[in-house]
Amino acid sequence: MTGLATWGFAALFVLVLVGWHLSYTAARLDRLHVRLSGTLAALDAQLVRRAEASVELANSGLLDGATALLLADAAAAALEAPHESGEQRELVESDLTEALDVALTDEVVAGLEASGLLGQDYLGRLRSACTRVQLARRFHNDAVTDVRRVRRAWVVRVFHLAGHTPLPGTVEFADEAPTRLGA
């Protein structure tokens, strides 16, 4: 009887240990998904901020008409794009990055810097917004990598700890700030 009780306690201990591990892994995965939602919201906010800074610069009257129109069109498309990650949004954001690179030539940047505090303010806001977009996209993609790594674990797959939550994807678009914009 003593041997049977010992085996019973050992089995109970193993079951409690497995249950604890499953609970811990599920809670960790949940925290990672919450973090992922936060990084996606932060990325979206920074993309909107960059597009708004671009619209402000385009409407400032400090750019020539063609440059202002190019920049305003790309920024408006970025603001009107669906605010979910997806191929359409990535294309629109890449287009805005390209429009910024085309619009902010050396002459335009020099003219804005020479125009006084107003031009420098617009450049500063745009520079800050471009940097924040890069950081937010990197943080989001790091969070996606963390979620994917945990979801590849056999325990998560066998016990369906992720439920029906879709596997997240990274956000890939051109987000380099124009080199003429400076650091």
How many C-beta atoms lie closer than 10 Å to residue 72's C-beta?
A: 19
Q: Quick: pLDDT tens for 110-119.
A: 999 998 889 9
Phi and psi of 155, rounded to 5°? -65, -40
Q: Is the pTM of this model over 0.85?
A: yes
* Mean pLDDT in residue range 17-45: 96
User: How far is Cα 145 from Cα 153, in angstroms, rounded to an integer?
Assistant: 13
Q: Quick: pLDDT tens for 141-162.
A: 999 999 999 999 999 999 999 9
Per-residue pLDDT band for 166 (boundaries 50, 70, 90) equals very high
Per-residue pLDDT band for 36 (boundaries 50, 70, 90) equals very high
Structure tokens at 158: 């066998």
Q: Given a cut of 80, is residue 83 above it in pLDDT?
A: no
User: How far is Cα 47 from Cα 51, in angstroms, rounded to an integer?
Assistant: 6
Q: Which helix (H) or strand (E) holds 141?
A: helix 117-151
CA distances from 13 to 18, 19, 138, 173 (A): 9, 10, 42, 50
Q: Are 51 and 96 in contact (CB under 8 A)?
A: yes
